[in-house]
Chains A and B, each alone.
Chain A
Amino acid sequence: MAFVTDPNLLADIKKGDNAAWNLFAKKYGALIWLRGSDYHLTPDEQEQLTQDVLVSFFKAQDSFVYAPEKGRFRDYLRQIIKNCIFQILRKRQQDNNNEEIQENTAFDENDDEAKRKREDEEWMAHVYSQALAELKRTVKPRKLQSFMMCRLQNKRPEDVAKFQKVSLATVYNDCNEVMEKLMELVKTLKDA
């Protein structure tokens, strides 16, 4: 699978390409799911949320124009997710108490800042996940594994060298090479 940047993927979705839709669901589904967990949704509600967001996006596809200069895709997606979470919480509250939802239960201002921070962290994890998936295609498995062991799992380079049966210098070279490529990809994807 070729590396698909958001503008390409969004263009294919607008054309009604089914494969692009599946890719979109795979690419953003986990991120949407995770957003639900930050609002303490149950697993069933998280599934509902993921479906709702995808459906909302599907319905809006004709009117959606990818124009990075007007706003980021992530902000557009964030707003859809937030609206869908609100609907789910409203339904939950109505089911439970037959009362009107109080916005401050889920969208408290103080709490909102913390949630926004989590959102940014999750978006970065999503970006890194996409970048690492791309590196899996383009970088030698040993190099990527050395990088992941040292930099993501915090293993000692000496242990990684032993595990990989290479010299310590090779481990450092591999980590350096992968890090440079990763940072380049992250820079490209970060503000999409």
Chain B
Amino acid sequence: MKHISEINLQRLLDDNLSLVQKLICKHHLAKCADCAAKLEAAKMQRQELLSIAQDLNRLQEAETALSKTSILRK
């Protein structure tokens, strides 16, 4: 049984597969627990990254504020 590639899992999440590819993937996912788990993990990883992106913005704001102090200028 050929598993779904990482890239196709990502494409599936974005709804960026052709209709035929999508049907093949869905058919495979229905009977392959490994790929179904990978798809779920990829979905969660995306959500985590978006949440981290918000904290990265806060960290960047802190860096900007810090750069205006004498702490890093000396």
Contact = CB atoms under 8 A, between A and B. Distances in A.
Nearest to B69: A47
Nearest to B45: A179
Interface in B9-58: 10-11, 14, 16, 45-46, 49-53, 55-56, 58
A8 interface: no
Contact of A34 (B49, B52, B62, B72): B62
B65 interface: yes
A149 B13 CA distance: 16
B10 A50 contact: no
B71 interface: yes
A164 interface: no
Q: What is the predominant secondary structure among interface residues of chain B facing chain A? A: helix
Contact of B10 (A54, A132, A175): A175
A34 B57 CA distance: 11
Interface residues of B, number: 25
Interface in A32-52: 33-34, 37, 43, 46-47, 50-51
Contacts of B56: 125, 128-129, 132, 152
Given A51-B71, A54-B71, A33 B66 contact: yes
Given A50-B66, A54-B71, A125-B58, A172 B11 contact: yes
A134 interface: no
A129 B66 contact: no
Nearest to A43: B65
14 contacts: A29-B71, A30-B59, A30-B66, A34-B59, A47-B71, A50-B71, A121-B52, A122-B58, A125-B58, A129-B59, A154-B50, A158-B16, A169-B7, A175-B10
Given A122-B59, A152-B52, A176-B10, 13 more contacts: A22-B72, A33-B65, A34-B58, A47-B66, A47-B71, A51-B71, A124-B55, A125-B56, A152-B49, A152-B50, A152-B53, A154-B50, A157-B16
